[in-house]
Each structure stands twice: as C-alpha cells, then as structure tokens.
C-alpha cells in the first residue's frame, strides 16, 4: 500500500496542531528516512480587544524527524505597540519571547487490506522563561479506510491534557490521491484541510485552512500573571508554492491569513482571568525541508 500521511493535525500540537503528523500507512513508517526542516513566519500587527494596543509576531522553527519520532523547537518573538492600552501587562510590554519544545511519537498498522489504524502521543512545553508546570500531553488515534489507491476516509479523536482547558476534539478527513502525484490531491477534514496541485516534478501549489492552539506558561515575575498562562486560539488560511529543485529538497514560500482568533489569560492555578479578541493578521512564510 502506498504511504499516505493524514496531515490532519497540521504542524504543531493544537498548540498549534501544526508539527504533528499522523502516519496512516501500515508498516511503512519503519522505512521513513530522516527529515530536517527550518522555517520562519512573520505576521502583521493585530489589535487586542479593540483597544488599539497591538502586537506582531515572528515565529522561527527547527524540526527533525526520523521513523516514528519528531522533535521540534519554535521561538516566537513579539513586537508590541501602544502597550499602555492593552487590557493586561500594567502598561508595559507583556512579554518578549515565547519558546516551545515538542516531542512526538506515532505508529500505525493494517487491520485488513483496506482498513488500518493510527495513533500517537505528543509532549509539549510552552514557556516564557521557566519550564516548570509548562507541559501538555496530547494523544490521538483513529481508523482509516481506503476505498481505492486514490480515495480514503479517516476518523478518530485527539485528547489534550494541559495546565488550562483540557479538551477532546474529533479527527475526520477524506483523502484524495497522494501529495506527490501530478495534478490535484487533497485532504479535506477537521482540524486541517489541504488542497494541492502539482504541475511537474519541480512545482506544487497548496492551499490550507487549519485551527491552532498554543498554551504558554508565563514567567515567575510576569507583569501579566506571575506563573500564569496564555492560551492563543484561532484559524489560519494559507497559500504556498513548493519548489523541489533536487530529490529530497523542498523550498516553500507562502502567504497566510490568521482570523477568528482570541487570547485567554489564566492564573497559576489554571483559572481564567480574561478573554480578548485579537484582530486578523496577514503573514509571510519561508520554509526549507530536506529528506535524506
């Protein structure tokens, strides 16, 4: 059976669920080659709760994966404007930099010729300065049924245990062809949808829409909430051009639009102390991926 990835968790753990990949082709994960990726994303300023206090963010990521395992680090640098008008932070910049470490393990196997199962677990630490009490655990699992070599469906669930607001979400998807095939291919589902068109061996276009969530533990001396937490949620739509000049090498340039997003502040006990709408923002993406 051909190897097909259900990219339904996107690339980081509903924190955001955008660095977690679920392999759903039986046994083939064992022959997967090592991969290395670096990327940067920069977004325009967005207003917080219509108070004219704004921020922009630049995210830099390094990810390495091999067989069943993925390890990644993300650094998010914030630039604030009119901090004295924000609903938190006591008139100063609330924070400068967030860090996120993620370790993921996955597995899958065949049940019958057309039916397979998949599962995985992810450990995430999001923090400003101290890692203490910053860990979240995400587990997922489900089934996939292939009607043919081109068409398949999948269903499952993901459960998230975090210092604040633990939750369970569905994983559903319909999958048409493989991303390496010429012409159209797609994964349509929740929380991520991807539609692709590959022109030739060199160029591929992709359009995506996905939901993301980040939970970050604030510093011991934070002027927002000492030892508290920030939760950021929202949707991202993106369009990307993948350029594949050499076997195993993919360079990506793209544009993104973040919408329907909000920010929630919690104290160190995990009790919510505020929820704020955040203005939509545009962003640019550069990524380099190499598969050995």
Closest by CA to 18, choosing from 4, 3, 7, 26, is: 7
DSSP secondary structure of 12-47:
EETTBEEE--EE-STTGGGGPPPEEEEEEEEE--EE
**Gap between the Cα atoms of 216 and 101, Å rounded:** 11
pLDDT of 93? 96
72 in helix, strand or coil?
A: strand
Distance (Å, whole) CA 281 – CA 258: 5
Asked whether 154 and 146 are in contact (CB, 8 A), the reply is: no
Do the beta carbons of residue 189 and residue 174 sit within 8 Å? yes
DSSP 8-state code for residue 50: T
Residues of the chain with pLDDT under 50: 1-31
**What pLDDT shows up at residue 9?**
38
Token pair of 150 as six digits: 């081109």
Predicted TM-score (pTM) of this structure: 0.88
pLDDT for the residue numbered 292: 87
For the chain, the domains span 5-291
**Distance, CA of 214 to CA of 37 (rounded, Å):** 20
Q: What is the pLDDT of residues 111-131, one digit of tens each?
A: 999 999 999 999 999 999 999
Strand partners, 108: 118
Q: Are 227 and 133 in contact (CB under 8 A)?
A: yes
177-227 per-position pLDDT tens digit:
998 899 999 999 999 999 999 999 999 999 999 999 999 999 999 999 999
Residue showing tokens 């998949």: 118
Q: What is the pLDDT of residue 220?
A: 97
Residues 6+ apart with CB under 8 A from 131: 125, 217
Rounded to whole angstroms, how far apart are CA atoms 166 and 4? Answer: 30
User: What SS3 class is residue 111?
Assistant: coil
Q: What is the largest CA-CA distance in the chain?
A: 61
pLDDT at position 51: 86
Letter string b/e over residues 170-179, b meaning 16 or more CB atoms within 10 A of that residue's CB: ebbbebebbb
């Amino acid at each position: 059976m051909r190897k097909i990835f259900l990219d339904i968790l996107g690339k980081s753990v509903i924190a955001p669920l955008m660095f977690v990949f679920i392999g759903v082709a039986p046994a083939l994960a064992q022959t997967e080659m090592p991969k290395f990726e670096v990327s940067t994303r920069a977004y325009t300023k967005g207003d917080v709760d219509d108070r004219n206090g704004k921020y922009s963010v630049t995210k830099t990521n390094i990810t390495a994966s091999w067989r069943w395992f993925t390890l990644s680090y993300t650094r998010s640098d914030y630039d604030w404007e009119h901090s004295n008008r924000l609903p938190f932070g006591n008139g100063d910049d609330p924070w400068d930099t967030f860090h996120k470490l993620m370790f993921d393990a996955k597995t899958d196997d065949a049940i019958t010729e057309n039916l397979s199962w998949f599962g995985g677990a992810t450990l995430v630490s999001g923090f400003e300065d101290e890692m203490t009490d910053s860990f979240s655990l995400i587990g997922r699992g489900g089934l996939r049924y292939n009607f043919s070599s081109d068409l398949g469906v999948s269903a499952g669930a993901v459960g998230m245990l975090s210092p604040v607001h633990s939750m369970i979400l569905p994983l559903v998807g319909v999958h048409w062809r493989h991303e390496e095939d010429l012409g159209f291919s797609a994964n349509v589902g929740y929380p991520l949808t991807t539609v692709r068109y590959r022109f030739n061996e060199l160029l591929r276009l992709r359009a995506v829409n996905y939901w993301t969530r980040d939970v970050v533990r604030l510093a011991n001396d934070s002027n927002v909430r000492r030892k508290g937490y920030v939760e950021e949620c929202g949707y991202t739509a993106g369009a990307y051009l993948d350029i594949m000049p050499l076997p195993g090498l993919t360079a990506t340039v793209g544009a993104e639009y973040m919408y329907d997003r909000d920010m929630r502040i919690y104290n160190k006990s995990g009790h919510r102390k505020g929820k704020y709408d955040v203005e939509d923002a545009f962003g640019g993406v550069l990524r380099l991926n190499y598969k050995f």
